């Protein structure tokens, strides 16, 4: 048993980064990336991307990125990390301009289908007719088994110009950002940049219902989607990529690291429906009983006193800062999405938000005899200690 576990760990360490663990064509390891990337991408875009990454706590330059797209939601996400064994962190989500075809994988030339499955970037195309383009390795080993043997189709890209027949089109400004991030990761040594294309978000009920209604007559998709959902769920629960293999029939096989630490799933906010970032918790504005700190008000005051003293100790002499924090206490009494809405600095606010989310638990608000979520606001007054010298 010990030997098996050791081999598993080695297996996942070796294959945690590529989108495929099946044999890859040798030439794909030498994808040309322009050395003049700074002349291709606008300087403003480069500065913006670098500042956004640093602001969100990422190191620069990025070393590994992972892209995943959702056809139904028309979204493409970028995940980033700088160490091969650490979990990915979400950086940014982009809107896909349009989609073509229907749900299900691409199977032949001219079917207008956007592929579904596990791919990687195999081409950087700065001279594309669609502004800039990142090529995908369709048909991949699974597609080669399942698709038309003579004309499976090809030339699938993530590109600009916002038009498509089977690709993932973005605005020119968005493809500038994606192309730049992918180029930097490639130049930092990431040979395989994985791109996973899903039909929909498997754990978002609205999408699941919509998808099932639109594919009720396509029973074969249920079998096709099983490994896709398995890979999706594993990433949602660990923020790490599973190893993807292909059997002799062209079916995907998902190999998951059983020792991967679990993480909390990110809350998906439908951009077409949830304008309020707190709306996913459906907070009540009026409640019968407001939340109370789980270990009592005296303990809350003691925690606030300790926090303000710790933060005040790092302030410059003769400095005072008033900070206002807004957050949701959910139905289970957890502190959700704390956000400094007044005062502070970036680094200070980041510490405050992290401490609120990790350390504060409550007895939830009550309305009509039932626990409900509600918003709360807490003020903090920070004053630098006096210099007694």
- pLDDT of 9-57, one tens digit each? 333 333 333 434 443 333 343 444 545 787 899 999 999 999 999 989 9
- Three-state DSSP at 253 gives strand
The answer to whether 10 and 3 are in contact (CB under 8 A) is no
Q: What is the DSSP letter of 131?
A: S
61 preceded by a cis bond (ω within 30 of 0)? yes
| C-alpha separations of 362 from 292, 323, 336, 378 in Å | 6, 21, 11, 14
Q: Which residues pair with 378 in a beta bridge?
A: 325
Taking residues 87-111, report their average pLDDT.
Answer: 91
Res 258: pLDDT: 93
Alpha helices by DSSP H, listed for the chain, are 2-15, 37-40, 43-55, 141-146, 172-187, 205-214, 220-238, 297-312, 346-359
DSSP helix/strand/coil, 180: helix
pLDDT at position 179 over 60: yes
Q: Which of 24-28, 140-144, 288-292, 358-362 has the lowest mean pLDDT?
A: 24-28
Enumerate the active-site residues.
159, 167
Dihedral angle sign, alpha carbons of residues 269, 17, 164, 104: negative
How far is residue 206's CA from residue 184's CA, in Å, rounded to a whole number? 36
* Domains (range + CATH), the chain: 2-255 (2.40.440.10), 279-383 (3.30.2420)
Q: Are the beta carbons of 64 and 80 closer than 8 angstroms?
A: yes
Higher pLDDT, 99 or 104: 104
Per-residue pLDDT, 272: 60
Mean pLDDT (the chain) is 87
pLDDT at position 271 is: 61
Work out the percent of the chain whose per-residue pLDDT is above 90: 70
Higher pLDDT, 310 or 347: 310
Q: What is the pLDDT of residues 52-82, one digit of tens each?
A: 999 899 999 999 999 999 999 999 999 999 9
Rg (CA), the chain: 24
Per DSSP (E only), the strands in 52-184 are: 64-70, 75-81, 89-95, 117-125, 133-136, 157-159, 168-169
More confident residue, 21 or 282: 282
| Mean pLDDT in residue range 346-358 | 92
- Please report the DSSP string for 308-377 in residue order: HHHHHTTSPTT-EEEEEEEEEE-TTSBEEEEEEEES--HHHHHHHHHHHHHH-BEEPEEETTEEE-EEEE
Find how far residue 192's CA is from the centre of its chain. 18
Q: When comparing pLDDT for 149 and 14, which is higher?
A: 149
């Amino acid at each position: 048993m010990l030997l098996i576990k050791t081999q598993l760990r080695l297996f996942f360490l070796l294959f945690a980064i590529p989108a495929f663990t099946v044999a890859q064509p040798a030439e794909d390891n030498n994808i040309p990336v322009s050395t003049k990337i700074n002349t291709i991408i606008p300087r403003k875009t480069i500065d913006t991307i670098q500042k956004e990454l640093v602001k969100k706590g990422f190191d620069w330059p990025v070393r590994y990125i992972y892209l995943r797209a959702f056809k139904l939601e028309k979204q493409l996400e970028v995940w980033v990390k700088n160490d091969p064994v650490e979990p990915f962190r979400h950086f940014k989500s982009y809107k896909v301009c349009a989609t073509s075809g229907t749900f299900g994988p691409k199977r032949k030339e001219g079917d207008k289908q956007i592929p579904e499955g596990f791919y990687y970037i195999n081409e950087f195309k700065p001279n594309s007719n669609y502004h800039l383009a990142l090529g995908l390795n369709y048909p991949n080993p699974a597609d080669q088994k399942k698709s038309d043997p003579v004309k499976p189709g090809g030339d699938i890209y993530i590109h600009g110009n916002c038009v498509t027949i089977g690709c993932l089109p973005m605005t020119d400004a968005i493809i500038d950002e994606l192309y730049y991030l992918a180029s930097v990761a490639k130049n930092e040594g990431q040979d395989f940049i994985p791109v996973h294309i899903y039909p929909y978000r498997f754990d978002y009920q609205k999408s699941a219902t919509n998808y099932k209604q639109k594919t009720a007559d396509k029973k074969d998709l249920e079998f096709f989607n099983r490994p896709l959902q398995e890979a999706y769920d594993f990433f949602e629960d660990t923020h790490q990529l599973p190893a993807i293999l292909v059997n002799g029939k062209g079916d995907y096989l998902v190999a998951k690291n059983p020792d991967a630490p679990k993480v909390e799933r990110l809350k998906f906010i439908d951009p077409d429906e949830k304008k309020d970032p707190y709306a996913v918790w459906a907070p009540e504005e009026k409640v019968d009983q407001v939340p109370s700190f789980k270990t009592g008000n005296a303990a809350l005051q003691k925690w606030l006193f300790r926090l303000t003293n710790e933060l005040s100790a790092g302030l410059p002499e003769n400095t005072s800062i008033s900070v206002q924090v807004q957050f949701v206490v959910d139905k289970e009494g957890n502190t959700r999405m704390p956000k400094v809405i007044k005062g502070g600095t970036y680094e200070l606010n980041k510490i405050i938000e992290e401490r609120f989310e990790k350390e504060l638990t409550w007895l939830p608000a009550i309305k009509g005899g039932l626990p409900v979520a509600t918003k709360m606001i807490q003020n903090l007054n920070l004053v630098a200690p006096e210099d007694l010298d």
